[in-house]
Structures are given as structure tokens and as C-alpha cells.
Chain A
Amino acid sequence: MIAASFAVAGVAIAVLVVVLAAATVVRRWYRGHQERRLARIVEPLRQVLIRLVTDPTGDDPSLEHQRLVATPPRTWRALEPTVLDLLRKVRGESRQRLVDLVVAQGTVERMRRRSRGVGAVRRAHAAELLGLLGQVESRDDLVRLLEDRDPEVRLVAARALGELGDPTAAEPLLQALVRERSVPLRVVARSLARLGPATAPALVGGLASRNALERAVCAEISGLLGVTAAQAALLDVMETEHDDDVRIRAARALGRIGLPSALGALVRATDSSQPVPLRAVAARALGDLGGPGPVDFLEVLLADPNHKVSTNAGQSLSRVGAAGQDRLRRLARQPGDAGDCAREALAIYAVTHGLAAEASAPLATTPPAQRSGSRVAGTSRGGTAAEVGAQ
């Protein structure tokens, strides 16, 4: 009885294995068959598509456009991935022709509907395509998706808003940073940067936000985009802000924007009473400002007991122009920490600008034992500039 039961179970398992194997084979064959069938359908239209994109005759490409717009829905569904793939590869007039085609085929409307669908993957896919197609009417759908329950969908929507290029998306993007269903900082920052300087009003407004993260992002992006309209708000941040991270980003931004009116605020930020990371960034930002204005202040910082501050001051002096370079050369002849730092800055400048011969003149060196204890261990400032450069 038991043996018979085992035999039946064995046969059942064998049958199951055979059925599963057959199903796998059939499924693979069917998939291959479908792919070949789709390729057969798509190939002639792909040639038309390539002609539409390249416009080889220079004539109005409406013939190709009309032919592709007239493709029946089933055929279009087979062709659509190829069209979207091509969209990622070209720009300018060629891209616009593809966008016109996709819009005429109703893909944008379909994606907008899909963005309200049930599955998160479908909503994310819709958001991605809406960003790729860059139609301003998709903005509200993408803004709505910034509050989606699925974090991946929110992330894709934030990225898509950056692609869309509508600066009015800046404000919802900033809000997405601070709400409970948030979007990662780096994604928002990248999208804001893509939107460009037209986001200035939102960035200036964001600098007065009650949320420190939002203020920090607005400061950073203002600098990256060189938003001169944010200068006054950034100067205000330097004087009144309590959060060190926000002040650090504001200092960096003021340097990048490069307006001379930032000099006073940046010099004050290098004061020894300020946190070291802020002082170091401010020393670098003074170099970004350029011109002779920061030279005297940077010279003082060259002897700073903090390695990061003095190194940044030296490199800033090498970048501000002729006045800074002259000052470095004069200081490089002197012994002591400031002299070491000046030689290091000149050596780095020489190496990065292919001027090694000029910088390798014999220099007065400070014996290692006499160097400031607060320097980073293993950082030698002695020897010739060439030696320093070789390190």
C-alpha cells in the first residue's frame, strides 16, 4: 500500500516536472516568436523614424510624420519603445520631431492617466516618460506624484520635474524636502540645478524658510547656479543664521557668485571665533571672489594654526590673480608656517598649470620639529616646490 502511494507520488512529480519544462519551453518560444513578430512590424517603421529624425532631404518631414501618426494603435505600441529610446539619444530639432510624433499619438495623455494608476511601477514609469517628453501640461501630474505613497515614485517625479524645465516646479520641489513623505536631498538639488537660474525667486524665498535643510539646499543651489539675486539673502544668512551647515553653504555660494560685496561677510566668517569648517570654506570662497580685495586677509590666514584654513588660504591666494601670486612669492622666501604654506600653494599651482620649473626654486624651509603641532600629521611643507609637488 505504502509502495503504491510512493509510486503514484513519483509519477505525479514526474508529470509535474514534464509539464513545467514544457510550459517553460513554450513560453520561451512564444516570447521569441512575439519578439520576432514585433521586430518584423517595427523594422520598416524604424527606417521611417530614422528619416524623420535625420531629415535627410531638408524638406518638411511631414510625410514621415504623417505616416507614423497614422500607424494603428497595436503597431504604435510595438514601435513606441524604439521612439522613446531614440528620444534619449538626440536633441534639438530631431528631438522635437520625435516629441511632436509622440504627442500626436496620445502618449502624453496616456501617461498622465497612468500616473494616477494603481501600480507604483506604472506610476514611476509614467513619471519618467512625462519628464522625458518635457510637456509643461504634465507639471501638475508630476507635482502630485511628489506626494506619492511610494518613495520610488516620488524620487522619479522629482527627477522628471528637473527634466521638464519649468521653473515654477522649484517651489514644490523644495517643499518635497521637508514633508513627511519626502524626496532625497541630492535628487531635489540636482533637479533644481537643472531648472537653472529662473528658479531664483523660489531659492531666495527658500533661504528664509523655517526648515534648515531647505535653507541649506537653497544656499547651495544659489551658488551652483550663480544666482546674483540671492546675494542679499545669503549675506543675511551669514549674519543671522544659527545653523552652521547653512552658513557654510552660504559662504561657499557667495564665493561662487563672486560679487565683491561678499568680501566683508566672508572675512568675518574666517574669524578664529567661528567654527573651523566655516572658516576653511570662507577662506576658499575668498579665493573664488578673486581680485586684490581678499589678498591682505588671506595673507593673515596663511599663518593660521589650522591646517585646513591655512591651506585653503594659500590656494586662494594663488587663484585671485597677480596680486595674490606676488604676495605668495614674497612670503615663500620667508621661514615659518606662512612661508611653508605659500610654497605649498605655489607648488600646487605650478604643478596644476604646468609651471613646475618656476616653482622649484630653492626655498627656505622650516625644520619639521618647529612646525605647528596642529598641522595634519604627515603633511610636509618643507623642501623645494618640486618636492612638495611630487608628494
Chain B
Amino acid sequence: MPTVLVADDDPDIRELVELKLSSAGYDVLTVADGRAALDALLTRPLDLAVLDVMMPVLSGTDVLRALRERASDGASVVWPTKVILLTAKAQEADVEAGFALGADDYVVKPFSPRELLSRVQAVLGRGAV
């Protein structure tokens, strides 16, 4: 089954998403800050990352930017990890900026765990096609 990284500094959200995704059969890895998220993304092949935007140390957008920059410079070994941003930042400009950075989807908090699962399935399905 695909492996999903969940990065959020809120333990409730981490556990909630972890339980929802693992019960749907995904392998789930959780971290509490952006630095740990980036380390995880650069050290092992992950199919998808669900990143909170406002996290300590490195924000979700910083992680995404670093990931996409490494993927485009061709020098580093980077797996084609899909990214869903999960954030309370709901302004049009925030969503636009998230997609411009290379996010595959954008989910606004408060969120529906059921809808998030559907989006995870859709994003990973798109990759398979």
C-alpha cells in the first residue's frame, strides 16, 4: 500500500489523519515539524505527504519548495512525492500560492477527514494513471 507522511504540529490532527488513512489501508508516518518532514521526504520514498502550512522550524510551504527545487535541479535523488497542503489559510491567494509551489491539492481547516481521504485517494490515483 502507498506510504503517506502526515506533518502537523497539532497532535489531534496528526492522530486523526493517521487513523483515517491507516484504516483505509495506507502506511502512515507522522512528524510534528517541517524539518522532520523534509528529512523524512529526502531519506525514503514516500508516495504522498499531507503537510500543515504553519509548522515550527520549517513551514509546510518551505518543505514543499525545498522538495520541488531539489526535484528540478536534477542533482539530488528525489522521489516524485505528491503533496497535499492541509491548512487554516483559506484565502484565494494562499491557495493559489500553494498550487504555484507545486502542491497537488489544497485542503482547508477545519476539514472533513472523510473528504481528506477521498482527496488522498484521488491524488494517488492520478499518479497511477
Which residues of A are at the interface with B, using a C-beta cutoff of 8 A?
Answer: 50-51, 53-57, 82, 85-86, 88-95
A92 vs B16: C-alpha distance in the bound complex, in angstroms? 14
Interface positions, chain B 76-129, Cβ under 8 Å from A, are: 109-115
A250 vs B116: C-alpha distance in the bound complex, in angstroms? 40
Which applies to chain B's interface (DSSP): helix, strand, loop or mixed?
Answer: helix
A53 touches B114 (CB 8 A): no
Q: How far is the CB of B109 from chain A (nearest CB, A)?
A: 6
14 contacts between A and B (CB under 8 A): A50-B16, A54-B19, A56-B22, A56-B23, A57-B23, A89-B10, A89-B16, A89-B109, A90-B111, A92-B112, A92-B115, A93-B112, A94-B114, A95-B110
B23 touches A54 (CB 8 A): yes
Q: How many residues of B contact A (CB 8 A)?
A: 16
A54 vs B114: C-alpha distance in the bound complex, in angstroms? 8
Given contacts A50-B12, A50-B15, A85-B12, contact A90 B112 (CB under 8 A): yes
A377 vs B16: C-alpha distance in the bound complex, in angstroms? 57
A90 touches B16 (CB 8 A): yes
B23, closest chain A residue (CB): A56
Residues of B near A92 (CB, < 8 A) are 112-115
Q: Which of B19, B109, B115 meets A50, CB within 8 Å?
A: B19
Residues of B near A93 (CB, < 8 A) are 112, 114
Interface positions, chain B 2-16, Cβ under 8 Å from A, are: 10, 12-13, 15-16
Say yes or no for B70: interface residue by CB 8 A criterion: no
Given contacts A50-B12, A85-B12, contact A91 B112 (CB under 8 A): yes
A94 vs B19: C-alpha distance in the bound complex, in angstroms? 13
Extra contacts besides A91-B110, A95-B112 (14): CB < 8 Å? A50-B15, A54-B113, A55-B114, A57-B23, A82-B12, A88-B110, A89-B109, A89-B110, A90-B16, A90-B110, A90-B111, A92-B112, A93-B114, A95-B110
Residues of B near A86 (CB, < 8 A) are 12
A51 vs B20: C-alpha distance in the bound complex, in angstroms? 9
A92, closest chain B residue (CB): B112
Q: Which of B13, B19, B115 meets A89, CB within 8 Å?
A: B13
A56 vs B114: C-alpha distance in the bound complex, in angstroms? 10
B23 touches A89 (CB 8 A): no
Residues of A near B20 (CB, < 8 A) are 54, 56
Q: Which of B12, B16, B19, B111 meets A91, CB within 8 Å?
A: B111
Residues of B near A90 (CB, < 8 A) are 16, 110-113
A89, closest chain B residue (CB): B110
Q: Which of B10, B109, B112 meets A94, CB within 8 Å?
A: B112
Q: How far is the CB of B28 from chain A (nearest CB, A)?
A: 12
A24 vs B90: C-alpha distance in the bound complex, in angstroms? 44
Residues of B near A50 (CB, < 8 A) are 12, 15-16, 19
Residues of B near A57 (CB, < 8 A) are 23
Residues of A near B12 (CB, < 8 A) are 50, 82, 85-86, 89
A85 vs B11: C-alpha distance in the bound complex, in angstroms? 12
Q: How far is the CB of A57 from chain B (nearest CB, A)?
A: 7
Q: How far is the CB of B67 from chain A (nearest CB, A)?
A: 25
Residues of A near B110 (CB, < 8 A) are 88-91, 95
A92 vs B114: C-alpha distance in the bound complex, in angstroms? 8
A57, closest chain B residue (CB): B23
A90, closest chain B residue (CB): B110
Residues of B near A85 (CB, < 8 A) are 12
Given contacts A85-B12, A89-B12, contact A53 B113 (CB under 8 A): yes
Residues of B near A51 (CB, < 8 A) are 19
B113 touches A94 (CB 8 A): yes
Residues of A near B114 (CB, < 8 A) are 55, 92-94
Residues of A near B10 (CB, < 8 A) are 89
A53, closest chain B residue (CB): B16
Q: How far is the CB of B85 from chain A (nearest CB, A)?
A: 16
The 4 closest A-B pairs by CB, nearest first: A56-B23, A92-B112, A54-B20, A91-B110
A91, closest chain B residue (CB): B110
A93, closest chain B residue (CB): B114
Q: How far is the CB of A257 from chain B (nearest CB, A)?
A: 20
A90 vs B86: C-alpha distance in the bound complex, in angstroms? 12
Residues of B near A56 (CB, < 8 A) are 19-20, 22-23
Residues of B near A95 (CB, < 8 A) are 110, 112
A88, closest chain B residue (CB): B110
A95, closest chain B residue (CB): B110
A53 vs B20: C-alpha distance in the bound complex, in angstroms? 9
Residues of B near A55 (CB, < 8 A) are 113-114
Residues of B near A89 (CB, < 8 A) are 10, 12-13, 16, 109-111
